[in-house]
Amino acid sequence: MSGEPAPTDAARTPLVEARDLTFGYAAVPVVEDVDLRVERGEYVGIVGPNGSGKSTLLRLLLGLHEPDSGSAELLGHPARAFAERERVGYVAQDVTEDEKRMPITVSEVVLMGRFPHAGFGRVTADDRERTREALRTVGIEHLADRKITALSGGQRQRTYIARALAGEAELLVLDEPTVGVDAESVEAFFELLDGLVDDGMTVLLVEHDIGAVIEHASRVVCLNREVYFDGDPTAFADSDALDRAYGTNVRREEGGIVT
| Binds another protein by CB under 8 A, chosen from 68, 108, 226, 232 | 108
Write the interaction track for another protein spanning residues 230-249; mark x where CB under 8 A is met and - where it is not: --------------------
Residue 112 binds to another protein (criterion: CB under 8 A): yes
Residue 52 binds to another protein (criterion: CB under 8 A): no
Residue 72 beta carbon to another protein: minimum distance, rounded to whole angstroms: 13
Tell me if residue 108 falls in helix, strand or coil.
helix
Strand partners, 227: 223
| Binds another protein by CB under 8 A, chosen from 88, 110, 134, 206 | 88
Strand order across the beta sheet in which 171-175 lies? 88-91, 171-175, 202-206, 43-47, 219-224, 226-231
Tell me if residue 34 falls in helix, strand or coil.
strand
Write the interaction track for another protein spanning residues 169-208; mark x where CB under 8 A is met and - where it is not: ----x------xxx-xx-----------------------
User: How many CB atoms neighbour CB 168 within 10 A?
Assistant: 16
Write the interaction track for another protein spanning residues 139-168; mark x where CB under 8 A is met and - where it is not: ------xxx--xxxxxx-----------x-
Count CA atoms closer than 13 A to 250's CA, side-chain side: 21
Question: What does each C-alpha distance from 161 to 12, 112, 129, 140, 250 come to in angstroms?
Answer: 25, 12, 16, 11, 31
Residue 26 binds to another protein (criterion: CB under 8 A): no
Q: Return the number of the residue (175 or 230) whose C-beta is nearest another protein.
A: 175
Task: Give the interface segment with another protein, choosing from 59-67, 222-230, 235-243, 246-254 (CB under 8 A).
Answer: 59-67
Question: Do 22 and 33 contact (CB within 8 A), yes or no?
Answer: yes
d(Cα 210, Cα 242) in Å, to the nearest integer? Answer: 10
- Nearest CA to 107 out of 59, 64, 159 is that of 159
Residue 102 beta carbon to another protein: minimum distance, rounded to whole angstroms: 4
Q: Return the number of the residue (1 or 123) whose C-beta is nearest another protein.
A: 123
d(Cα 49, Cα 223) in Å, to the nearest integer? Answer: 8
Task: Give the interface segment with another protein, choosing from 49-57, 111-119, 195-203, 207-215 (CB under 8 A).
Answer: 111-119
- Give me the residues that bind another protein (CB under 8 A), please: 62-64, 82-86, 88, 90, 92, 96, 98-105, 108-109, 112, 115-116, 118, 120, 123, 145-147, 150-155, 167, 173, 180-182, 184-185
